[in-house]
Every structure is written in C-alpha cells, then in structure tokens.
Structure 1
Amino acid sequence: MILLQVQHVARYFGADVLFENTYLEIQENSRIALVGRNGAGKSTLLKMIAGIEQPDAGQIIKSKQVTIGYLAQNTGLHSNDSIWNEMLTVFEPVIQLEKEMRKIELQLGDLELLADEALYQKTLERYDQLQHDFKLANGFGYEAEIRSVLHGFRFYEEDYQKNIRQLSGGQKTRLALAKLLLEKRDLLILDEPTNHLDIETLNWLENYLQAYQGALLIVSHDRYFLDKVVNEVYEISRQKMVHYKGNYSKYLDLKAANLEQEWKEYEKQQTEISKLEDFVNRNLVRASTTKRAQSRRKQLEKMDRIDRPQGDEKSAHFRFQTEKESGNVILSLRNAAIGYEDQILSSPIELDIRKYDSIALVGPNGIGKSTLLKSLIDDLPLIQGEKQIGTNVDLGYYDQEQANLNSRKTVLGELWDSHPTTPEKDIRSILGSFLFSGDDVEKSVTNLSGGEKARLALAKLSMNRDNFLVLDEPTNHLDIDSKEVLENALIDFDGTLLFVSHDRYFINRLATSIVELSPDGSTLYLGDYDYYVQKKAEQEELKLLALEEQEKNMLILEPVATSKNHREIDKETQKKARQLSRQIEALETKMAEIEEQVEEIEVQLIDPEVFGNHVKVQEINVQLTKLNTENDVLATEWEEKSIALEELEN
C-alpha cells in the first residue's frame, strides 16, 4: 500500500531553483535513503513531506490515517520531566487502559453491581474488552520496551530519574530519537539520525530499524549505516530527482553504469550526427545528390538530440603532502592514563605507532578518545604514563570543534595569515580546490556552515605539509562526496595517520589497525573495521561458549592472562548471572501458573450456576483481582531481572 507520494514538487528562491519536478513514492515498509550534496535541498524536502513546510509547486499526497514521525538534524528533546516519565507519555493510552481495568476489578466485587445482572454482565464485557486491548497494546511489556530502547541509546537505570534539562545536547538528541522509535509511527523521517551516536549505538540502531514495522525515509552521510538499513535510494542532483533500487553501494554501481550507458548513447549519436552533417556538407550543392542531402538535413533537424552527460557535480580535489620524511618510530605511549583531575577515563593505554601506520581509535562516547588525542598533542596532560615522539616527526592536528579557526577573519585571511609568504594567487588556488571560489573567499569564518568550516580546517592542515596527522572526527559535517575526496587524499598521503571517527565506512577504507579504548585501557586489532567486528564477534562467542561450559560442569574456568582480581570479578559476575537466570525461570513458571488460574476463573464466571450466585461471583472476583495484581508484580520483577541479566552479559 502506498503511504505517501511526492508529485512534481518544487522549491524556488526567487529566480533560483533548489529542485523541481520532484517525484518520490513511499510504500508500507519502504526503506528509503535521500542523498545529495550539502545544499541540494534534502532537509527542505523532508520538512515538506513532514508537513512543516509547503512546496512552491506540486503536491504531497498521503492518507489521512498515516502517522508521521520526524526527527530534524541535531534536534533535542525538550522537557521539564525525568527521562522515565517522558518516555511513559508515549504509552499514556495504555496506562489509562490499565487504570480503567483496575477500577472495574474493584467494581466487580461491589454488592450493588452484583445485584444488577444486566449491568454486571455489561461491566464484565467491558472488562474483557479492556483486557484484550491492553494485551494488544503490549500492556504487560511496554515498560520492558522502554528499558530496551533506553538501554540501546546508553541510558541506564541510574539515569531514569534525571531531569532532561540537565542532559547534554547529544543526550537530548538521542532521547528524542528514542521517544520517536517508541511511538511506532507509520512513517519515520530521520534527518541525520546517526549524529552523536558511537559505533556500538549505531550497530544497535541499525538492527532496530531493520526490524521496524513502519516505513523509513532517511537522510544520512553514514554510508555504512545506509548500506545496512535502506533498499532504495533517491538522489537530488542538479535540481532533479533520480530513483535507484538497492542499498547505497548498489546505488553507486547503478549510477556509474547509467553514466557509462549515457556516454555510449551520446557518443553513438554524436558519431551519427557527424556522418550526417558531413554528407550534407559534401552533397548539398551537387545536383545529383541534392535530394538525398536535403533528406539527411531534415533527419538532423528532427533528431531528438541527447544532452552531453554531466556526470558528478564539481567536487573538492586536494592532497596531503609531507615536507620531510620521518623516522620509523612515530610515537610510543606506555602505561598511560587519561582523564580529568582525579577521574581516570581509560588506563592502561599502550600505543606503538610506526611510519605509514593508519590507526583508527574507537570506543564508546565519553571513554576519552578526543582526550587522548589532546594529550598526545600536549593540549591536556596525561594523568600517568610516558610519551615519546620519534625523529623528524611533524605532527598536524585536526580538531573536530575547529577551535583553531579565527571567527573574526575571512576565509582568505585565515589561510593567508598562517602562510604570509605564499602568494595570494596560490592561496586562492588552494581554497578553490576546497570549493571556495569567487566571493566565497571573502566570507567571514563565523558565517560559514559546519561543512565549510570543516573544509577550511582541512585546507589549513594540507598547507602545513606535516608527516603525522592526528585527526579528531574529520568527516563530521562533510557530505558523502567530500568524505570520499578526503578518503582518497588520506589514502594517497605519504605519512602516518592516527584518527578518531564514528564513520565505519571511512575507517574501513583507511585503517590498517584499530585501537579500542575502554575503561580497562587499549586493545589493538591488526586489521580494518570489518576485521575488528569479526574479532569482537569471535571473542563474544568464545565468552558465551565458556559460560555455557561453566554452567554445564558447574566449574569456573580461569581466563588466560588475567589478574587474580579480574578472575574474582568474573566469578562473581557469572555467579550473579546464574542466580538471575534461575530467578527469571522461576518467575516465568509462576506467571504461567497464575495465567492458567486466571483463565480457569474467567471460565467459571460465565458458568450459569456461578453467574447466578452473587456471593460466589464476589469471591471469584476478589480472587481474580488478587491474581492479576500478583501477576503484575511478578511481571515487573521479571522485567527488572531480565534487564539486569542483559547488562551483566554485556
């Protein structure tokens, strides 16, 4: 079934066209990516589809019953309530159903109601309907669902009572997305949903969205994410929309194949045109061939000429070059601890960076990845440890906050002041390679977009000609095309790289090894991102097999190469996990028994002999209320223990 159609939609800015004649169709369970350059109009189109803005031309048709959820870029959840209470508002109708059920349960034991058989039967029917609706709306599991989604976005039990006003911008954005997912709209429109998410959370979100029951329309610069989630792509380019079937990688293949085919058809027609024109020119004045030449000329006039394929729009093009060659040892770090004042975020950290290494630094948000980079460039002190820089190493640093850009300068001034001996024409040429041309170079830095600031910071970095680049989230704010240009420039870089990124596609193309940060320090993986994921999965599988073996034999195996303290912690964790598993099984058995009793009692209530005995009915209703209350308590306890077990296993 078609949920929504965009028909011939356009957006104009005076005489300028952002896009026009745009067509897009969304069906039930569609998984659509909307791609295009920054400034192509993706976010504008999403706002039109969400009903926030109106198109200048065309129309957007949707069924009245279709519910739409929209998440704008960097939009946070604004509320004066706690995290838990705000999530509960999504299930307010279910909560009201439960309240009405409890109210009727009390009424069913009332003697006056029992005396009125017709009213009693009507009340009982209403109670049956409420029970049905309550189960259908996941009444017994909505709290577990809230916990599951909050856990996926890294909000834990101790966070639930925090006031949302106290959260950071990134946390509010994650919470806004969490609430939107819980609302289960028919169509989710997500504009850059992967912002502020670490790799582990991205993996969770991908799995969640793959199983989402509604349709998805997503704008994202995360190519790995798009490959996992979408199965069709709409591209806005040169004011037009083109539709491709398949994920992002398939879209790239199809786009390249289409362009190649367009060139073949264009060149074939150009050859034909050339032959016809040549025949006309040679034979038009000759009496014997004039008629044939005139016929060819008419053929040329009637020909539907194919436009020259335009291919991609103008892209940035730059390189990172080195001034001098470094020694083989670039940087070593031994027994390091990072953090602030007395708070250690990660320890012990070991790094051994050699010439031509390309190392990706990964780990959850807040673990200290940016802190480590700042400690390496001496912006922050190490809490402990020894750092040594190798011979002839020139370190260049890219700051994700672009703090090294002067907001009072122009684009041209920012670069020229850093390299005053370089001729202006050379500075302008370099800026042009980063897509700053004409009046763009006179723009104030403070008025630049996030993507423009990122390109300017990269331009400054490229001019320094350092042989060791330390990059903190270099792909932030860049569109996909600019990311690919940056990737190619870094792949060709004749130096050494250490970088932090949440862009798994970027990591996969660049990294020769991965260093994972955790509270317990650093772990080295000698491969790209896919290798890292594979090794992590193998480690998790081995861990589960070991636990199963321990359960089977009731033995606790000592992990290899760990300290006594770690073994003790592991034993305690496994003991708690076994206890929780047994408790959960016992709760499930008890809940099943209660449900059987409730079913038996409900059958008794409709028995004519019992139905006519008001005293018996009252006794049964009291028993029924007691059982339902007991079952609710057990269900809550089951949810809490299940979450606790999940956290232990993770």
Structure 2
Amino acid sequence: MQLLKLTNIKHYVSARLLFEVDHLHVSDKQIIGLVGDNGSGKTNLLKIIEGSVIPEEGVIERNTKIEIVPQLKRISDEKSGGEITQSYIQDALNQSAGLLLLDEPTTHLDFKHIDWLKDKLNEFPGAMIIVSHDREFLSTMCNEIWEVADKKIKVFAGGYQTYIEEKEKLKRHHDLEYEKYEKKKRQLQEAIKAKEEKATRATKAPTRKSASETGQIGAKPYYANKQKKLRKTASALETRLEQLEKVEKPAKEEPIRMQVYKEETLKNRIIIRGKEVSGSIGNKTLWQAFSFNISSGEKLGIIGPNGSGKTTLLEKILKQTPGITISPAVKIAYFTQQLTILEDHLSILDNVKLSSSQDETTIRTVLARMHFFNDDVFKLVNVLSGGEKVKLALAKLFLSDVNVLVLDEPTNFLDINSLQALEELMQTYQGTIIFVSHDRTLLENVATQIFSIEDQEVEVFDGTFKEFINRNTEHKRDKIKEELMLIENKIADVLSRLSLEVTPDLEQEFQNLLAQKKKIEAQHNK
C-alpha cells in the first residue's frame, strides 16, 4: 500500500529553487534514510510531506496519518537530550500514525538512548523517513536511501551500506567515462593536427624538381585539390570534436600533510600523564580516581552516558588540575559548540590564518575538504550558517600551530559529507587528538585508545573501539558461561536429591533452575 505520493514537486526559497521531485512514493513498512548536505532542503522536504510547508508546484497524495518528530535544538536544564527525545518519540507513537518523520533523532543521545531509540522504532508498525548524520544508525535502520543533491532527489534501493557501495560504483564509472572522453578527445585533436599539417605541406612546391616535373600540366590544381580535401577532413573532425559529449573531470582529493608543532620533538613520547585523577560536581561523584598516559599521535576517544563526566575530564586536562602533568612542548586547541575561536568580522581565510603558519595551498585544501571552495574563502564569518561555522572552526583547529586537539562532540550539526571529511582529517592528522563522541562509526574509524566512563569508573583501554567492544562481548560471554556452569551444578545437586526423595519443594526448585538455565542460554546465543 502506498502511504504517500509526491509528483512534480518544486520548492523555492527566496525565488531560488531548493529542490524538485519528479516522482517519489512511500509504501507501508518502508524505512527511508534522507541524506544530503546541510542546506540542501532535507528538513523542508519533511515539512512538505507533513503539510506545514506548501510547495510552489506539484501534487502530494497522503493516504495515512503523518507525525513528525522535530530536531532537538536545545537540552533543558531539567531533562537530558535522551529524556526529551524519548518524550517526543512516545508522543508521536501515541498518535497512531502510519508514517513517522524523524529529523536528526540521535542528536545529543548517548549509546544507551540510541539503542533505546532503535528498539522503539523497530516496534513501530508503519513507515518512516529519517534524517540523520549517524551512519551506524542509518545502516541499522533503513532499507532505502533518498539523497538530496544538485537540487534533485535520487532513490537508492537497499540500506545505507548499499548506498555507499552504489555511490562508489558511480564514482568509478565516472572516472572511466572521463578517461574514455579524454582519450577520444586527444585522438581527434591529434588527427586534426595531422590533417592540418598535411594540408599546409600540400601547397608547398617540392624543393627539388626535374624540368619535366616542373612543366607538368595540372600539378598546381592537383595540390590545391589535395589541400581542399585535407581541410575538409580536418573540418569534419573538428565538428566531431565539438559534438563530443563532454564529461566533467572527477574531483581528485590530494593527500593532506599538515605541519604539526614540534612533531619530531614529541614523537613516541608520553605527553600527558594522569595520576589518581577523580571527578565530581559538588557532592556528586562522577568517577573514582584513575591513572592514565596519553602518547603523542594517539587518537583518544572518550565515551560514556550523558552526565557521566566526559566534558569534565576534558576540562581537567585543559586546566592541568592536580594529578595531571602535561609536557611543556604541548600546545592544545579546544573545540566546543560555542565556537568562540571565530572572529565574525573576518573572512574564512583570514580566520584560519590568524592561528596558522601553514602555506595557503594547504589551508585552501583543508577548507575545500570542508566544502569551502574557491572564492567561498573570502566570505565573512557573520554570513555563515551554524553548520558552516562548525566546519570552519574545525578546519581552523586542524590548521592551527598546535599539536594536541581536544574536540567535544565535534560531529553535532555536520552533514554526512562533512562528517566524512572530518574523519579523514582526524585520520591524517599527525598530532594527538582527544575527542568525546557518541558516533560509533567515527570512533571505529579513528580511535586508537578508549576511555570509557560508566558507573563512576573509568576504564582505560589501549586499542581500537572495535577491539574495545569485542573485548566487552568476550567478557560478557565468559560471565554467562560461569553463570551457566553454576546453574548446571545446582541442577545436578537437585537431581541427586530428587533421586532419593521427590517433594513438591524440590520439584519446584528444579523447574525454577531449568527456567533460569533456559534464560541464560538465550543470552549466550544472542
């Protein structure tokens, strides 16, 4: 059953076409991921589907009740982001809608609340359209992707991973088509040049001629006719060249090599030490005392539930509170969502140059990664959107004359393309990065060390995020095996007693133990 049909939709913002839709439809139980750059119109499309925004052209056919879960803009002092999102989701589900629209539902959520959200949405019997920059969330939830790009909406059947693979195939196909185009163009250009050269030579009299040759009747008309034919052939080739369907050159990203302050001095050294560092706010304990070392070049991911003290740990490192020692050669740059490092009255380029001694080519290359191309770099900061300011602040930090970057939730408000660009910068950066994130994909692709804060304890793990998760899984499985062995021993004891005398109490105990064993086995098989 089709719950929604969009036909010949055109939507404008200040007389500028934002996007157009030839034909889109949503069927029952479809879960669609809506992706695209910030400002491409994703939220506007949701509002058009819901009915709160009317498109300038087109027809919308709604065959079910539609509810929208808006993007969480602020966190209240009384409630966490997770609690507010839970409230939004529950309110929407209570409306018995057939189509649910979710705008960045994972923003401000920790792992626990993201997992709760997945479970809750998996129980929803209808269809969904989800705008999200959380790649792991999209991979888990979606069975179709709508991409907003170049003012069009393209549909990719399959989940998010299939979409990424299809995009890579399209890129390879584009590269191949460009190579074919360039080869054909060169062949035609070389053929034209050869014909023109022959035509020029055809008008020249031979340098050595016999008397009889000189007197030959019709020599001049022969050469003139030959030249005419050659020029006609050259002209036909030029027409073919002009009519050759142009293939745009694929964008090639050059590798980035950013200079890092005193990189060689700090190489292979421990640059930050923590000894018996505890955390608290007022009388509330955040974590018990723990010790740690951070080496140069490490990519340290700090994880934990909201309110567990991740930002407090960053602040302790930045302020070098008692118990924390930092090498004198270390220079730190700090990213927060307040974006206080930007000067509104300066251009994008001048903002970066204020704190960077990198050459302009490197600066422009990094800015281009964050989608500030060509003359964009001369825009003043005060005309940029919130998302653009976040991208500029991050680019500015990576190009600064420092060797340690401290990033507190750097992925908030970034679209997927910008997030992937940030990920690449983090991977290629030769200095040290300490970052807080709930983005599982970013952690998996970047982190080389993990600090996990949970239940007032900080676990220091030297390894990748995937290794950390697998380690916890193995630990959990070992614990389940121990519980299973204990239950089996108890069952053996009860059976031994039942063989001597059958009583109602023993029989009940035996049934209870069997039920416990079945429950533990189910956990073990997950």
Query: TM-score, normalized by length of structure 2?
Result: 0.75
Could you say if the C-alpha distance between residues 461 and 269 of structure 1 is closer, same or farther in structure 2, counting changes exceeding 3 Å? closer
1:73 equivalent in structure 2 = 71
1:451 aligned onto 2:363: no
Counterpart CA distance in 1 for 2:62 and 2:437 is 39
- Counterpart for residue 405 of structure 2: 469
Deviation at 1:36, TM superposition (A): 1.0
2:266 counterpart residue number: 326
For 1:388, the equivalent position in structure 2 comes to 325
Distance in 2 (alpha carbons) for counterparts of 1:430 and 1:254: 27
Choose between structure 1 and 2: higher strand proportion: 2
Kept in 2: contact 1:402–1:453 (CA 8 A):
yes
The answer to whether the 8 Å contact 2:334/2:407 transfers is: yes
The whole-number CA distance in structure 1 between the counterparts of 2:58 and 2:44 is: 14
Deviation at 1:358, TM superposition (A): 1.5
Change (3 A) 1:311 1:11: farther
Structure 1 residue 342, shift from structure 2 partner: 2.3
Paired AA for residue 485 in structure 1: A
Structure with the largest fraction of helix = 1
Instruction: Kindly report which structure 2 residues correspond to 1:85-484, keeping only aligned pairs within 5 A, or say none.
Output: 166-167=78-79, 171-265=83-177, 267-268=179-180, 306-309=245-248, 320-324=258-262, 325-326=265-266, 328-378=269-319, 381=321, 386-390=323-327, 392-405=329-342, 409-411=345-347, 415=351, 418-419=354-355, 429=364, 432-433=367-368, 434=370, 435=372, 438=375, 441=378, 443-445=380-382, 448-484=384-420
Deviation, structure 1 residue 431: 8.5
Q: What whole-Å deviation, never above 9, does each CA across 1:500-550 have from its counterpart, x for those lacking one?
A: 111111111111122210233211333322222222223333333434444
3-state SS, counterpart of residue 307 of structure 2: coil
Q: Name the counterpart of 1:52.
A: 52
Q: CA RMSD in A?
A: 4.0
CA distance in 2, matches of 1:527, 1:505: 15
Q: Distance in 2 between matches of 1:456 and 1:297?
A: 46
Deviation at 1:200, TM superposition (A): 2.2
SS of the residue corresponding to residue 319 of structure 2 reads coil
* Cα distance in 2 between the residues matched to 1:40 and 1:192: 15
Taking the aligned partners of 1:431 and 1:357, their CA distance within structure 2 comes to: 21
Q: Is the alpha carbon distance of 1:275 and 1:331 closer, same or farther for their aligned partners in structure 2, counting shifts above 3 Å?
A: closer
SS class of match (1:377): helix
Deviation per CA, 1:338-368, whole angstroms, max 9, x where unpaired?
1222221111233211222222111111000
Aligned counterparts of 1:455 and 1:319: Cα–Cα separation in 2: 19
Give the 3-state SS of the residue equivalent to 1:396 in structure 2.
Answer: strand
Rounded to whole Å, the distance in 2 between the matches of 1:487 and 1:444 is: 23
Aligned amino acid, residue 144 of structure 2: E
| d(CA) in 2 for partners of 1:326, 1:290 | 68
CA distance in 1, matches of 2:80, 2:115: 22
- In the alignment, is the contact (CA less than 8 A) between 1:359 and 1:512 conserved in 2? yes
CA distance in 1: counterparts of 2:358 and 2:448, whole angstroms = 38
CA distance in structure 2 between the aligned counterparts of 1:439 and 1:272, rounded to whole angstroms: 34
1:383-421 Cα shifts (integer Å, max 9, x gaps): xx6111135222222223324445x644459827944x9
Match of 2:464 in 1: 528
Q: Deviations over 1:242-293 (max 9, x none)?
A: 2212222221221121232244345546656776788899599878899999
| Partner SS for 1:74 | coil
Instruction: Using the TM superposition, give the Cα deviation of residue 173 of structure 1 relative to its aligned residue in structure 2, in angstroms.
Output: 3.4
Contact kept in structure 2, 1:361 and 1:369, CA below 8 Å: yes
Count how many residue pairs are aligned between Structure 1 and Structure 2: 463
Q: What is residue 122 of structure 1 aligned with on the other side?
A: none
Which stretch of structure 1 is more off in the superposition, 531-540 or 361-370?
Answer: 531-540
1: CA distance, partners of 2:11 / 2:254: 26
Q: Secondary structure at the match of 1:70?
A: strand
Deviations 1:105-137 (A, max 9, x none): xxxxxxxxxxxxxxxxxxxxxxxxxxxxxxxxx
| In 2, Cα distance between equivalents of 1:424 and 1:299 | 43
User: Which residue of structure 2 aligns with residue 488 of structure 1?
Assistant: 424
- CA drift at 1:20: 1.8
- Render the CA deviation track for 1:127-170: whole Å, top value 9, x for unaligned: xxxxxxxxxxxxxxxxxxxxxxxxxxxxxxxxxxxxx9943566
Q: By how many angstroms is 1:223 displaced?
A: 0.8
| Correspondence for 1:118 | none
8 Å CA contact 1:358, 1:512 repeated in 2? yes
CA distance in 2, matches of 1:41, 1:315: 26
**Residues 321 and 462, structure 1, Cα contact 8 Å, conserved in 2:** no
Determine the C-alpha separation between the residues in 1 that align with 2:436 and 2:131: 23
**Kept in 1: contact 2:142–2:159 (CA 8 A):** yes
Higher alpha-carbon deviation: 330-339 or 462-471? 462-471
Provide the secondary structure at the position in 2 that maps to 1:235.
Answer: strand
Measure the CA separation in 1 of the matches of 2:167 and 2:435. Answer: 31
**Does structure 2 conserve the Cα–Cα contact (< 8 Å) formed by 1:329 and 1:353?**
yes
* Structure 1 residue runs without a partner (length 5+): 78-163, 556-578, 586-650
Give ranges in structure 2 of 5+ residues lacking alignment: 200-224, 492-508, 516-526
Q: Is the 8 A contact 1:361 1:500 kept in 2?
A: yes
Distance 1:280 1:415 in 2: 50
In 2: Cα distance, 1:319 partner to 1:400 partner: 26
Indicate conservation of the 8 Å contact 2:4/2:27, yes or no: yes
Matches of 1:412 and 1:21, distance apart in 2? 34
SS of the residue aligned with 1:465?
A: coil
The CA distance in 1 between the partners of 2:482 and 2:454, in whole Å, is 22
Aligned equivalents of 1:450, 1:357: Cα separation in 2: 30
Give percent identity, aligned residues only: 30
TM-score by length of 1: 0.62
Give, in whole Å, the separation in 1 of the partners of 2:28 and 2:101: 13
The one-character-per-residue Cα deviations of 1:559-581 (angstroms, maximum 9, x if unpaired) are: xxxxxxxxxxxxxxxxxxxx9x9
Aligned mates of 1:61, 1:350 — CA distance in 2: 61
CA distance in 2, matches of 1:215, 1:15: 33
